[in-house]
Amino acid sequence: MERGQSDFAKTAGYTVVDPATAIATHMNSILKNNADELLGHDETQQLLDLISEKSPKIIEDLVPNKLSVSTITQVLKNLLQEGITLRDNRSIIDNLLAESVKTKDANQLTALIRPHLGRIIVQDIISVNEELPIITLEQPLEQLLNNSIQNDSSTNDVFLEPKLIESIVASVSIEKQNAEERGNPAVMVVSPKIRPWLSRILRQRLGNLSVLAYTEIPEDQEIRVIGRVGIQDEQQNQVAA
């Protein structure tokens, strides 16, 4: 890109970086997006051993009395899959211990501890004291998805017509592109009930997109709505039986 083009792009609100920075950013993105595949039973045990050196009681209480190493590994992989770093691992383990009395299911445990990690989640997306730009769902669509949730599923599956799902994905893709073209992170904020399902669907199709629940945003975090995703009136009743 020539100097004149670069200046124009910056004026238009786009982020301009040099080739070396672009390559480094791409490599970091690859590592971040595949971090969950690098974590296994041995790595989790090493992490627990490190925590045990300073806080042996919490590990004694947690493993194996409350949770197995395999379950903890799956929770950590779930977090990494969605771009959440494990740097505050003590907080993660503390909250796993607290929530383990409610369930032993890794997916449910992940959903239970995420609100406790809200500040960490947000700071993995933006810098401290920055405003969080978000994409939301219009009320009719969010209500439709909430009503379609299968409550007996640990993954909160939603059963909709494939065409409706693709329409939602296409609309989110447009809002994601609009956000990124203006130098904003792509972040959706939805109800806790539909967050796991929507995150999984969008991650499979769109890749790098953060999907947060309202309950995961700290109360003092400033937000700014930069996009909304909705559906046509005639699509609202297209829910599979």
Give per-residue pLDDT as tens, 29-65: 555 667 778 889 999 999 999 999 999 999 999 999 9
Q: Please state, in angstroms and as integers, the Cα–Cα distance from residue 55 to each residue in 50, 58, 92, 94, 107, following that order.
A: 9, 6, 14, 10, 26
In this prediction, residue 161 carries a pLDDT of 87
Torsion sign, CA atoms 159, 78, 63, 115: negative
- In whole angstroms, give the CA distance from residue 126 to residue 120: 10
Within 10 A of 110 (CB to CB), how many other CB atoms are there? 23
Q: From 196, 213, 205, select the one nearest 176 (Cα to Cα).
A: 205
Give the pLDDT band (50/70/90) at residue 149. confident
Stretch 169-183: mean pLDDT:
95
Range(s) within the chain of domains with CATH label 1.10.8.540: 35-122
Give the pLDDT band (50/70/90) at residue 231. confident
Q: From 110, 33, 103, 28, select the one nearest 76 (Cα to Cα).
A: 110
pTM for the model stands at 0.80
Architecture of the structural domain at 35-122:
Orthogonal Bundle (1.10)
Residue 216 has pLDDT above 80, yes or no: yes
% residues pLDDT > 90 (the chain)? 66
Helix (H, G, I), strand (E, B), or coil: what is residue 139?
helix
Does the 128-235 domain belong in CATH 3.40.50.12790?
Answer: yes
In this prediction, residue 28 carries a pLDDT of 47
Instruction: Pick the more confident residue, 152 or 61.
Output: 61
In this prediction, residue 12 carries a pLDDT of 45
Find tokens 């970086």 and name the residue. 17
pLDDT tens column, 63-113: 999 999 999 999 999 999 998 888 889 999 999 999 999 999 999 999 999
pLDDT tens column, 5-32: 554 444 444 555 555 455 444 444 555 6
- In whole angstroms, give the CA distance from residue 149 to residue 73: 27
Range(s) within the chain of domains with CATH label 3.40.50.12790: 128-235
